[in-house]
Copies of this chain bind each other. A is one copy, B any other.
Amino acid sequence: MELADFIRAARGDVPADTLLKNARVVNVFTGEIQATDVAIVESRIAGLGDYDGRHVIDLQGRYVCPGFIDAHVHIESALVPPNEYARLVVPRGTTTVVADPHEIANVLGLEGIRYMLDMAKYNPLSAYFMAPSCVPSSDKETTGAALYWYDLQTLLHEEYVLGLGEMMNYHGVVNGQPDVLDRLRAFQGRVKDGHAPGLSGKGLMAYAAANIGSDHECITPDEALQKLELGMFIFLREATTARNLRDLLPVVNAHTNRRLCFCTDDRVPSDLMDEGHIDYMVRVAIEQGIDPVTAIRMATLNPSEYFQLHDRGAVAPARRADLVVFSDLRAPRAEMVFRGGQLVAQDGQAIPWVRPKPRPVLRSSVNVNWATTHLRIPADGQRVRVIEVIPEQLVTQARIEALPNHDHTLLTDPARDILKLAVIERHMATGRVGLGFVRGLGLRHGAIASSVAHDHHNIVVAGADDLSMLTAVQAVVATQGGMTVASGETVVAHLPLPIAGLMSDQPFETVRQQMDAVRAAARQLGSPLHDPFMTLSFLALPVIPELKLTDHGLIDVSRNEIVSLFAP
């Protein structure tokens, strides 16, 4: 729209396109609640006050706040692509997300990132992206792609790419590893997200000195305060697994609140549907005693400033009309959501929209070399290293167990909760298989398999017997990715994830049902865990201690070394 026309509308000389009458506007600049009307012209707010509108909506005193912003999310963790993710989170009041597509990047590299960029357009959600900084996350795993600084810099000119995604390789930064610094240099002058769990002292100082601007891995207020002191923004996280919000709220005060944001990192559809998204975090913060306007500001203005998205984050002239309408200031729940001036959700449901065709097509990403995929473990020793699950945590313990054997073959011992664990390379069909044992999944028989395995996303499978394991893996491969529960030759439950082996092509409601079904089936087989698939997917992540398994083999994470299955 011509600036002159927009100014004319702000002046009140021509009617607004949409007028929200009798609103109570949450002013994130002043902390006030303003009783006023909101005039919207095309995608933006023209003014607050007494205006005429062609289309008038009487809010009858309901509140209006800016659309919520998720400061850091891996959309893939919701198991649906960006368009479906929009349908899921927009009704919860989210109008902008900053996504790090590092899951799909580990599978499909730049092709995967471009798929996400493409699928993120034309939806009622502004999805911005950070270029994944750590693909692969480790040199002890096989991924579908590796992204070096010269790959990442091809994203610099993308309109929806804001900066460099979470720099998980904090050791690399602190130790001045050249390829890591190359990535930082490529994004000089752009926002760079951090990821430095527990880093403190000189290491943290070095990390901050590299101009990394945020962290979302804090678990205590003290840790958050230390990082705030150094100028980092802190994203308070409430993921499906890592739930840090309540613990961190004591860090919010009059001085610090401007540099605090909310993020979800990884949230599965059931949590997004049952609890909510950023709106849930706002409600929890308020319930825990944070002033409502401060909580809303942390969800809106603060991330808009951190990411320099100055066209949003407030209900003010010239800003985008990304708005949430709700009734209870102490527990905001979106009743209407406007995005760019359009009503995009009402009463918890997205208003259907039409996406232009054709959709981008992705190549097959589940490529297993069956010829070399054997699960048998020769009994070359008696005592083996076993990965021990710690419930609800990503860290594991290493223990040593003696296992039964038969015919020079090591056996599982479900009675002692010791299952076989395998990671089957699925990108390049190299035929690499990592084999080991795990304790704590609780399956008494059968097997569970998944093509979601952080961050390399090879196929990870655990089971009481090889046949069940192979059945599960075959089901995963058959749908080009998925999560499967099998018993013997029977597939008991299956969630297909044909998009990069990470995401479904079905509506999120279906995904949720399928996910409930695979979880329930795993529990049926004996697992006491709330979500054994989540646990399974992190057993293959070789950057979180203590003992993990990749297609390269068993990894002693602290020493960053491959170790033998057999204990000395």
Contacts and interface: CB of A to CB of B under 8 A. Distances in A.
Given A30-B228, A31-B255, A209 B293 contact: no
A147 interface: no
A186 to B, nearest CB: 11
Contacts of A317: 205, 208-209, 230-231
A444 to B, nearest CB: 50
B305 A205 contact: no
A202 B258 contact: no
Interface stretch (A107-115, A137-145, A177-185): A177-185
Interface in A10-52: 10-12, 27, 29-32, 34, 46-49
A328 B364 CA distance: 67
A254 B9 CA distance: 33
B11 A174 contact: yes
Contacts of A211: 318
Contacts of A3: 176, 181, 184-185, 210
A229 interface: yes
B229 A30 contact: yes
A190 to B, nearest CB: 11
Contact of A210 (B30, B230, B318): B318
A253 interface: yes
A319 B225 CA distance: 18
A173 interface: yes
A30 B225 contact: yes
Contacts of A185: 3
A372 interface: no
B293 A255 contact: yes
Nearest to A257: B254
B34 A229 contact: yes
Given A174-B11, A228-B29, A229-B30, A46 B255 contact: no
Interface residues of A, number: 54
A225 to B, nearest CB: 6
A206 B255 CA distance: 32
A518 to B, nearest CB: 45
Nearest to A213: B310
Contacts of A34: 229
Contacts of A7: 173-174, 176, 181, 206, 209-210
Nearest to A211: B318
Interface string A477-516: 0000000000000000000000000000000000000000
A316 B212 CA distance: 12
A201 interface: yes
A530 interface: no
Q: Which among A46, A48, A202, A231 has the highest number of chain B CB atoms within 10 Å?
A: A231
A376 interface: no
A178 B210 contact: no
A14 to B, nearest CB: 12
A422 to B, nearest CB: 39
A181 B176 CA distance: 48
A297 to B, nearest CB: 8
Given A3-B185, A174-B11, A31 B253 contact: yes
Contacts of A4: 176, 178, 181
Nearest to A173: B7
A48 B230 CA distance: 9
Contact of A255 (B29, B174, B230): B29
A5 to B, nearest CB: 8
A173 B6 CA distance: 11
Interface in A282-328: 293, 305, 308, 314, 316-319
A154 interface: no
A523 to B, nearest CB: 45
A206 B316 contact: no
Given A12-B202, A48-B205, A48-B230, 14 more contacts: A3-B210, A4-B176, A7-B206, A11-B203, A29-B256, A32-B229, A34-B229, A47-B205, A47-B206, A49-B205, A205-B317, A208-B318, A209-B317, A231-B314
24 contacts: A3-B184, A7-B174, A7-B176, A7-B209, A7-B210, A10-B205, A10-B206, A11-B202, A11-B203, A29-B230, A29-B255, A29-B259, A30-B225, A46-B205, A46-B209, A47-B205, A47-B206, A48-B230, A208-B316, A209-B318, A210-B318, A229-B316, A231-B316, A305-B305
7 closest A-B pairs by CB: A31-B255, A10-B209, A231-B316, A47-B205, A4-B176, A208-B317, A209-B317
